[in-house]
């Protein structure tokens, strides 16, 4: 079965060459959009269920009150658009460090680019989310605290894309991240791996309430079911 692809865009970045390509998946007949960073696959539009569920789970946990949402990582845009589908979201700020990824959406190269970029609630900021979380970078367009923070950048807390990201998943890094949230705010974190009890213990040291939700979704490549994990945390311990 052929999986030939069309390269839509590529550009050098500080993290390596980032590229966007499109192909037709022979098993489904659907267009699939894929992002690579160097030789590493970052994301695919074949598998977006958990990224979308992350937004739904976080906002359901928050409730019906108005919510300002901060998204770490723009990617293909599915998490951000899923958040915008919730009426209580009054503003959506997305932080993305790779300028070419932002340009893809501005140029409407991806299926959900229009819904994202044409929504008046959306603000996309080019910045390093990890520096923002650590308090070493403060873009003027960002206005914390937020009711929800949704983070989908690394593969997992123990499988990061860049060594500079690792500090966020420590006790001190999570406490600093919690300062971006309101006292009753919600953090949701996507992971490609099964729930990690050790990480959940670290997370519980920075938030009063934590939970690891396993999200299952059909995988046409295996004719079975795959899973991702969404870590949910609420009420940051901002007194630490």
Q: How far is CA 87 from the centre of its chain?
A: 20
Tell me, yes or no, whether 135 lies in a domain: yes
Residue-wise pLDDT for 86-97, tens only, equals 999 999 999 999
Write out the residue range of the structural domain in which residue 218 sits: 47-236
Task: Give the pLDDT band of residue 3 (cuts 50, 70, 90).
Answer: low
E-assigned strands of the chain? Answer: 5-13, 16-25, 30-37, 40-44, 67-72, 89-96, 122-126, 146-151, 181-191, 207-219, 224-236
Residue-wise pLDDT for 110-167, tens only, equals 999 999 999 999 999 999 999 999 999 999 999 999 999 999 999 999 999 899 999 9
Tell me, yes or no, whether 61 lies in a domain: yes
DSSP SS3 for 145: coil
Task: Give the pLDDT band of residue 2 (cuts 50, 70, 90).
Answer: very low
Number of domains in the chain: 1
Tell me, yes or no, whether 11 lies in a domain: no
Contacts (Cβ under 8 Å, ≥6 apart) of 37: 13, 15, 16, 17, 18, 161
Tell me, yes or no, whether 209 lies in a domain: yes
Q: Quick one: pLDDT at residue 87?
A: 96
Q: Quick one: pLDDT at residue 238?
A: 76
Tell me, yes or no, whether 68 lies in a domain: yes
Tell me, yes or no, whether 229 lies in a domain: yes
CATH number of the domain encompassing residue 188 = 3.40.50.150
Tell me, yes or no, whether 14 lies in a domain: no
Instruction: Decide if pLDDT at 15 tops 80.
Output: no
Tell me, yes or no, whether 27 lies in a domain: no
pLDDT, the chain, mean: 93
């Amino acid at each position: 079965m052929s999986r030939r692809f069309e390269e839509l865009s590529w550009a050098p970045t500080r993290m390596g060459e980032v590229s966007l390509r499109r192909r037709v998946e022979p098993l489904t007949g659907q267009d699939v959009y894929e992002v690579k960073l160097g030789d590493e696959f970052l994301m695919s539009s074949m598998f977006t269920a958990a990224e979308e569920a992350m937004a739904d789970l976080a906002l359901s946990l928050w409730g019906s009150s108005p919510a300002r949402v901060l998204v770490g990582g723009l990617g293909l845009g599915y998490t951000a658009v899923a958040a915008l589908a919730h009426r209580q979201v009054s503003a959506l700020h997305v932080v993305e460090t790779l300028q070419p990824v932002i340009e893809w959406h501005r140029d409407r190269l991806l299926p959900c680019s229009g819904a994202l970029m044409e929504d008046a609630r959306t603000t996309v900021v080019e910045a390093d989310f990890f520096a923002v979380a650590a308090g070493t970078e403060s873009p003027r367009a960002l206005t914390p605290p937020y009711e929800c923070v949704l983070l989908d950048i690394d593969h997992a807390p123990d499988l990061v894309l860049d060594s500079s990201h690792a500090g966020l998943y420590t006790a001190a890094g999570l406490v600093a991240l919690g300062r971006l949230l309101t006292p009753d705010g919600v953090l949701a974190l996507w992971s490609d791996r099964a729930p990690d009890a050790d990480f959940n213990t670290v997370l519980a040291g920075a938030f009063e309430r934590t939970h690891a939700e396993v999200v299952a979704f059909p995988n046409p490549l295996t004719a079975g079911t795959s899973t991702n994990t969404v870590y949910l945390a609420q009420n940051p311990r901002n007194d630490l």
